[in-house]
Structure 1
Amino acid sequence: MSSILRRFEILFPLQFNDGRDIPSDLLADAVLEVVDRFGAVSYYDNLIKGRWIHKGTVYRDNNSKLAVDVGDTDENRQWMRDYKARWKDKLEQLELWLVSYEIDVE
């Protein structure tokens, strides 16, 4: 029997926008917060590079990725939006990239 769930993925930068390294214990806190809420998480620590422009400044990002599969509810969607906002502030970011999509787990 299959289950329909929603996967949330968020890119976490390894540096603040000014180039300073983000302490690994701070990123660990972000991961553990999702585990505390949903009971599981996947964290991809392979390097995901990105570039983007904001107000004429080119930013070069080194990112990791967090993924969690949860029930597709309004409550879970709102929690993830709030989580993104909290961590955007904690990590002193101009933006954090959060995506979600429906998945079918066999």
Structure 2
Amino acid sequence: MEAFIYSGRIADTVLVVLSAEVALVGFLLWRRSEAFGLLSFVASALALGSIVLALRAALLGAGGLFVAIYLGAGLLAHGSEIALRVLATRHADGVSSEEKK
């Protein structure tokens, strides 16, 4: 089990499962024409994928620069996810939050 973790294969496994999840859920959201939901889901998956890549880089001793790059990419993806969720919430009823007051 230790070899599975320290070789980075655990991260590879997580990335494969994540890719399958993105394909399945992404297809379902696309079929339902949920643009904001699809974009938010993809941004969330990109954030998780970036964190897993940072973990893999750290386990394989790739260096702090690569870990920082992956974590920075995850931060950008997470920021996009938050922005998309806020936009989706504001447009859920077709009425902006300022008009609801």
TM-score w.r.t. the length of structure 1 is 0.32
TM-score w.r.t. the length of structure 2 is 0.33
Structure number with higher helix proportion: 2
Bigger radius of gyration among the two: 2
Structure number with higher strand proportion: 1
